[in-house]
Amino acid sequence: METHQLFHTIHQLSRELAKQANHTLQPFGLYTAQWSVLFVLKEKGKMTQTELCDYLAVEAPPMTRTIQRLMKQGYVKQVKGEDRRVKIIEMTEQSKAIYPEWEAAILQMNDRLLTGVPDEQREHMKQLLSSCLMNVKENAQKGKLHE
Residue 14 counted as domain residue: no
Q: Is residue 117 part of a domain?
A: no
The larger pLDDT score, comparing residue 45 to residue 135, is at 45
Q: Tell me which of 60 and 83 has the higher pLDDT.
A: 60
Contact 102, 28 (CB under 8 A): yes
Domain containing 70 equals 29-95
Coil, helix or strand for 63?
Answer: helix
pLDDT value at residue 146: 47
Answer whether 0.75 is exceeded by the pTM.
Answer: yes
Of 74, 15, 86, 21, which Cα lies nearest the Cα of 49?
Answer: 86
Question: What does the alpha-carbon distance between residue 106 and residue 129 come to, in Å, rounded to a whole number?
Answer: 19
Domain count, the chain: 1
| Domain-embedded: residue 103 | no
With contact defined as beta carbons under 8 Å apart, do 75 and 94 qualify? Answer: yes
Does 116 fall in a domain? no
- Taking a C-beta distance cutoff of 8 angstroms, is the pair 91, 76 a contact? yes
